[in-house]
Structure 1
Amino acid sequence: MASLMFLGRIVVAWVAAWCVLLVVWAAIGFNRGELPWIFTLAWFVGLLVALGRGLTHLYRVRVVAGRIDGETVSNRQRRRVEVPYPADEAFALAEDVVRELPNVQEVASARGGLQLRALIRVPTSEQPRRRGRFQWPNTFDRPTKVSATVTPGDGSSSVMFVCEPDSGAWSDWFNPDGGNSLEYVETLVRAMTQRLSERRNRERADVRQTKMEKELTAAQLGLLQAQVEPHFLYNTLASAQELVRTDPARADRMLGHLIDYLRRSLPRTDGSLSTLGEELERSTAWLEIMRLRMGERLAVHTDVPEDALKVPMPSMMLQTLVENAIKHGLEPKQGGGGIWIRAGVDGSGLSLTVADDGLGFRSDGAGTGIGLKNLRERLRLMYGSSAAFSIGNNFPHGVAATITLPATGVSDHA
């Protein structure tokens, strides 16, 4: 029924045009009001061409849309696509899909007004190839106007695509566009939907990847917290056993610090952040054990203000820096040295530095670097770009490592 109505409108339009022509000719009064046969022939040929193009239009509409109704047979098509992104991102996506249309020309974008316009002209060499079974003179083809308008919303937006012939609406009655507008608007909708699907898939993949990285880092942290380095534990117990015979009071202090360190090294079951005060107590217990083992070869200096002790921070980070300073800087150094733990708090957040005057960066490849690598990865996953870690030479000797954490705790990146 829609097909018959569409072709019927074309016939009515041409008949109406014929009637208007007769009235005008009679009013002029040339040749006693009789219309020359050449005009009749031209009108008849025009009607046949319009009906032929109408059949082509219906054929392409059925191929593109799979149905023929009042919406699909229209020469002027519009579609709205909901985009779950802000207006500027939606505009960028719409501009990309419009520019990828075949034979698109004269693309004009007004980013400030969230509007985009373009014109499609099919080259003469391509026209016969894209028409299918019907081929009509190129003079009947009209360029297609394409426009996209973005309407912003609350955290999302919508894009309205409009495709229509580049001529007045009155011409649609006499010269159907062959389904071009429908084909272009459907192409835009499919391309936009595909872009949105690809973007959502990438976002889901990123979320899964980030989740896997967090789980891996959490597992590594749990393993780090759950285990005490065998050499450290064996050496501490052996030293305590020796001191029990020679200096029982010193052995008692060593065992007390070991118990305190082990108690504070138990992993958190709720996954919450620790505080600088708690981390400092853990590291202090470990350093006291090392002082009992190294004796006067180790000097510990702590400069942490009271207001910094309650600042939240990830667990085991301070311990990692302290262990690196002792194991790679001071313990292998003849005569030992000192370690400094300094912290500062201001409006931007917490700055925590662990420095030593040991051997510095060594060329013998001592250490695997896994501890610092995990530290950097944990900072990235928990704070994004809001946190920083730097390590460099300490003047005149040794190494200084600094962690900078934001005052607001874990960022939205996590």
Structure 2
Amino acid sequence: MLPPHRDDTDVGDTVVTSFFFVIRLIVAWFLAFMLCVVVWMGITDGHYHGPAWPFVLAALAMLTMVITGAFSHVRRVRLIAGRVDHDTLANRQRRQVEIPFEAGEAFDLLDAAIRELPRTEAIESARDSLQVRAQVRRLDPYGNKPLKRLSVFDWFGRKDNQILATVTPSDGTGSVTLICEPGNGAWTDWFRVDDGTNLENAEAITRAITRRVAERRRGEQASATQTATEKELTVARLNLLHAQVEPHFLYNTLASAQYLTRTDPARADDMLGHLIAYLRRSLPRTDEVLSTLGDELERSRAYLEILRIRMGDRLKLQIDVADELHATPLPPMMLQTLVENAVKHGLEPKPGGGTVWLLGRAGEGTVSMTVADDGCGFSDAGGGTGIGLKNVRERLRLVYGAAASLAIVANFPHGVAATLTVPAAPDKVGRHD
């Protein structure tokens, strides 16, 4: 594997920048040393007649420590940032980070990232002003053992760093201004280096923010994928539950129509017409989950008209539903299930038959549909397996959540009344888990 190519221009710029950075520190310390000498001469009124070599030796030792410390700073900055320039060599680091969340979420993310930074202490977090302040204990990257590293940069001033981070609200996003700097005044930058510790802090916080944003995005994508899968599963379950055209009813109707074609062609024609209307509204539709109350009424009416031809005067029908309620969203075959229960378990076991009522009423944001009969009622003879009503409740839960209900009570003086209550507004209808 070949080493990465380095442009000669970049190398030259790095050398020049590093050279002037070291020279700046040398000049600052040399001028400070000369100022000390002048002050000393002023204190002694120029009466010092000792040798000059102690001053020369002190100056050489000081410059040696300045040079070695400066080169160590340059080298460590290059290891951290991968480059050396004016911005990376500076003791004070500033970052502008855009977080694609609203300001409150961006602040929480920023606060957590700063709190996880090693050696962070004295954190002051103000959510109302969207500002975080913190002190970061500076750890000598070369170790703290005595005489392991002599450095004139530690002769004075505080040895900790500080962080100031502010979130500026924008259009649905938060812009973070991050400042990492030494705990000393800015004038000390002429004489001190921080060994890249503030650069390290700024890079670490920026990485932490980027990682948390990426995690949030992955979580949102996973949630969206899971939601889409659950919606597909819900649609499949709804289609399975409402695709329940009763085979026996279809066979019996066709057999009756075949018989009537020989004995009473006109009634056979009526029966086939009602069967066509019933089947037209009973076949599963893959393009939509919800039907309307009007369509479901037509389906139930066709079903009951077929039974009236078969049962004769033993079955009577009364419908009282206002036209303005016909547009109410309703899952397919749900009303049909309640009608089938009324006939099978209420009227067919009763010798004289009876009446089925379909009643619609509007409430406060809801529509109630009642299917009532005056048949056998809650009796052992008329009881079914309960699968149909269980399916109705399951479909209500899938489509409306807790916004819909099914109530079944005794109908006075005989029979059963099942009332289905659903939201009236289409925008309140959705799939729920």
TM-score band w.r.t. shorter chain: 0.7 to 0.9
In structure 2, the residue matched to 1:157 is 174
In structure 2, the residue matched to 1:389 is 404
Please give the per-residue CA displacement for 1:262-306, whole angstroms capped at 9, x wherever unaligned. 223355576496443233323433344455566777776655333
In structure 1, the residue matched to 2:202 is 185
CA gap 1:293/1:187 in 2 versus in 1, 3 angstroms = farther
CA gap 1:61/1:222 in 2 versus in 1, 3 angstroms = same
Aligned ranges for residues 203-242 of structure 1 at < 5 Å? 203-221=220-238, 228-241=245-258
CA gap 1:115/1:326 in 2 versus in 1, 3 angstroms = same
> Aligned with 1:332: secondary structure?
helix
Structure 1: any 5+ residue segments left out of the alignment? 381-386
Please give the per-residue CA displacement for 1:175-222, whole angstroms capped at 9, x wherever unaligned. 211111111111111111111111112212222222233334444555
Query: Quick check: 172-181 or 139-148, which moved more?
Result: 139-148
Q: Hey, what's the Cα distance between the residues in 1 that align with 2:385 and 2:63?
A: 89
1:367 aligns with 2:387: yes
1:404 aligns with one of 377, 401, 423: 423
CA gap 1:310/1:40 in 2 versus in 1, 3 angstroms = farther
Tell me if the contact between 1:9 and 1:173 (Cα under 8 Å) persists in the aligned partners: yes
Tell me if the contact between 1:53 and 1:175 (Cα under 8 Å) persists in the aligned partners: no
> Aligned with 2:117: secondary structure?
coil
Tell me if the contact between 2:77 and 2:196 (Cα under 8 Å) persists in the aligned partners: yes
In structure 2, the residue matched to 1:320 is 334
Q: Hey, what's the Cα distance between the residues in 2 that align with 1:296 and 1:43?
A: 122
Q: Hey, what's the Cα distance between the residues in 2 that align with 1:332 and 1:70?
A: 88
TM-score, length-scaled by structure 2: 0.74
> Aligned with 1:75: secondary structure?
coil
> Aligned with 1:175: secondary structure?
coil
Tell me if the contact between 1:261 and 1:286 (Cα under 8 Å) persists in the aligned partners: yes
In structure 1, the residue matched to 2:81 is 65
- Offset of residue 14 of structure 1: 0.8
Letter in 1 for 2:188: S
Q: Hey, what's the Cα distance between the residues in 1 that align with 2:36 and 2:165?
A: 39
> Aligned with 2:404: secondary structure?
strand
TM-score, length-scaled by structure 1: 0.77
1:19 aligns with 2:42: no
CA gap 1:204/1:169 in 2 versus in 1, 3 angstroms = same
Q: Hey, what's the Cα distance between the residues in 1 that align with 2:404 and 2:277?
A: 28
**Larger-Rg structure:** 2
Q: Hey, what's the Cα distance between the residues in 1 that align with 2:60 and 2:317?
A: 105
> Aligned with 1:107: secondary structure?
strand
Please give the per-residue CA displacement for 1:27-54, whole angstroms capped at 9, x wherever unaligned. 4455637899988877765554444443
- Offset of residue 73 of structure 1: 1.3
1:331 aligns with 2:344: yes
CA gap 1:183/1:266 in 2 versus in 1, 3 angstroms = same
> Aligned with 1:82: secondary structure?
strand
CA gap 1:253/1:53 in 2 versus in 1, 3 angstroms = farther
Q: Hey, what's the Cα distance between the residues in 1 that align with 2:222 and 2:284?
A: 29
Q: Hey, what's the Cα distance between the residues in 2 that align with 1:300 and 1:155?
A: 58
2:99 aligns with one of 73, 79, 83: 83
Query: Quick check: 294-303 or 212-221, which moved more?
Result: 294-303
1:377 aligns with one of 398, 401, 413: 398
CA gap 1:32/1:83 in 2 versus in 1, 3 angstroms = same
Letter in 2 for 1:6: F
> Aligned with 1:148: secondary structure?
strand
Q: Hey, what's the Cα distance between the residues in 1 that align with 2:154 and 2:385?
A: 78
> Aligned with 2:272: secondary structure?
helix
CA gap 1:166/1:289 in 2 versus in 1, 3 angstroms = farther
Q: Hey, what's the Cα distance between the residues in 1 that align with 2:104 and 2:315?
A: 59
CA gap 1:276/1:326 in 2 versus in 1, 3 angstroms = closer
Count of residue correspondences: 396
Tell me if the contact between 2:400 and 2:429 (Cα under 8 Å) persists in the aligned partners: no
What is the percent sequence identity of the aligned residues?
43
CA gap 1:270/1:31 in 2 versus in 1, 3 angstroms = same
Q: Hey, what's the Cα distance between the residues in 2 that align with 1:363 and 1:22?
A: 111
- Offset of residue 22 of structure 1: 3.1
- Offset of residue 411 of structure 1: 7.2
CA gap 1:350/1:400 in 2 versus in 1, 3 angstroms = closer
Aligned ranges for residues 131-142 of structure 1 at < 5 Å? 135=149, 142=159
1:198 aligns with one of 195, 212, 215: 215
Structure 2: any 5+ residue segments left out of the alignment? 1-14
- Offset of residue 227 of structure 1: 7.0
Please give the per-residue CA displacement for 1:297-342, whole angstroms capped at 9, x wherever unaligned. 777665533332234x2551xx22541x345676235548856543
Letter in 2 for 1:63: L
Q: Hey, what's the Cα distance between the residues in 2 that align with 1:234 and 1:338?
A: 23
Q: Hey, what's the Cα distance between the residues in 2 that align with 1:94 and 1:232?
A: 66
Letter in 1 for 2:191: F
> Aligned with 2:88: secondary structure?
coil
CA gap 1:251/1:48 in 2 versus in 1, 3 angstroms = farther
> Aligned with 1:32: secondary structure?
coil
Q: Hey, what's the Cα distance between the residues in 1 that align with 2:49 and 2:372?
A: 112
> Aligned with 2:74: secondary structure?
helix
Q: Hey, what's the Cα distance between the residues in 2 that align with 1:280 and 1:77?
A: 72
- Offset of residue 11 of structure 1: 1.1
1:8 aligns with one of 4, 23, 26: 23
> Aligned with 1:117: secondary structure?
strand
CA gap 1:164/1:217 in 2 versus in 1, 3 angstroms = same
